[in-house]
A = this chain, B = another copy of it.
Amino acid sequence: MKIYNSSEEALDCVHTGQTIMVGGFGLVGGPLTLIDTLVELDVKDLTIISNNLGEQGKGLGKLLEQNKVKKAIGSYFTGNRDVGDAFQRGEIEIELLPQGTLSESIRAGGAGIAGYYTKTSFGTDLSKGKETKVFNGEEYVLEEALKADIAIIRAYKADTLGNLIYYKTARNFNPLMATAAKTVIVEVDEIVEAGELKSDEIATPHLFVDRIILAKKILTKEGVIEHG
């Protein structure tokens, strides 16, 4: 694990054609600093795995606007009408997953589970073409694991080893994505000395974490503000 001084340096491993997981549920728990740098990078054909894809022209929405997204895998693109429009025009592929399936598939990707059976989406349009299997008389859908080259996530505090804790509902997809990508890049509100986080409280042990930066954008009551 290495602490970086800037999001530009921390993201120097991002390349055209990669699959990138992005944490957060809307703005809450989103790696806002890293996203802002990501959208400035000269890369394209990205596959983005994220619950949503920003708003029109904001956050990850900018990536879409710039035609850098080849495929989006997520659960709720409703907040950004550009996604539907780009899909209609055939400019991007979309893989829409139930939110529980999205999160479970990311966990599976990090946990060495290749696929799993869930009842969710059985008999609906979202399971069309997917294998099914009966367990104890009930039908289940086979869902496959999701993995990525890069995960960019937000945590509350990191220690100098790379252990992470999260804050309230800003946790969401972040600890899962931390397990499922080759390179995990984290922005945090604060970096403390190793030993300062309680051992029973650490949510993401440091073995999952590769790069850390201090967040420059923070979500407040008044909206997103620059910081530091």
Partner-B contacts on A (CB < 8 A): 104, 108, 111-120, 133, 135-136, 138, 140, 144-145, 165-168, 171, 198-201
Interface of A is mostly: mixed
Partner of A144, one of B135, B145, B165: B135
Partner of A111, one of B104, B140, B167, B171: B104
Report copies per complex.
2
Question: Do the beta carbons of B112 and A119 come within 8 Å of each other?
Answer: yes
Bound-complex Cα distance A112 to B140 (A): 10
- Write out the residue numbers on chain B whose beta carbons fall within 8 Å of the beta carbon of A133: 114-115
Q: How far is the CB of A167 from chain B (nearest CB, A)?
A: 7
The contact sample of 11 A-B pairs, CB cut-off 8 A, is A112-B118, A112-B120, A113-B118, A114-B117, A115-B117, A115-B140, A116-B116, A135-B145, A171-B200, A200-B201, A201-B201
Bound-complex Cα distance A138 to B140 (A): 23
Which chain B residue has the least Cβ–Cβ distance from A136?
B114
Which chain B residue has the least Cβ–Cβ distance from A108?
B116
Partner of A199, one of B118, B135, B136, B168: B168
